[in-house]
Amino acid sequence: GAVVSQHPSRVICKSGTSVKIECRSLDFQATTMFWYRQFPKQSLMLMATSNEGSKATYEQGVEKDKFLINHASLTLSTLTVTSAHPEDSSFYICSAPYSGANVLTFGAGSRLTVL
């Protein structure tokens, strides 16, 4: 089946630094990927839609300068949390649609801790 690989699984950084998270579709091409954020014991909140070859579209309330998204190829999307602060600590999960427009397969997630 379709596999999405996400790295790193865990990252700890100091406040003010930037962190890059990679999301790769391993056995299929993904012109679109979705980035979600999940706080402990809460739901998956859609942050942005990553589009290969064009700018990402961000959900209301998500700072595009804070969360930089680059969809470099048909198999790779990256999320960079810039100038991270403790409130950015969260579980970030990417996903990509396969088998049609709706079915999503998820990456394993990246747990970011900002000290």
Partner 1 sequence: GENVEQHPSTLSVQEGDSAVIKCTYSDSASNYFPWYKQELGKRPQLIIDIRSNVGEKKDQRIAVTLNKTAKHFSLHITETQPEDSAVYFCAASIKGYGGATNKLIFGTGTLLAVQP
Residues that bind partner 1 in the complex, under the rule CB under 8 A: 31-32, 34, 36, 41-46, 49, 51, 57, 60, 93, 97, 101-109
CB of 110 to partner 1, least distance (A): 11
- Pick from 60, 53, 83, 80: nearest CA to 69: 80
CB of 83 to partner 1, least distance (A): 27
Please provide the distance, in angstroms rounded to a whole number, between the alpha carbons at the two ends of the chain: 37
CB of 17 to partner 1, least distance (A): 24
Collapse the DSSP code of 88 into the 3-class scheme (helix H, G, I; strand E, B; otherwise coil) and give the result: helix
Based on CB atoms, which residue is closest to partner 1, 9 or 17?
9
Based on CB atoms, which residue is closest to partner 1, 82 or 106?
106
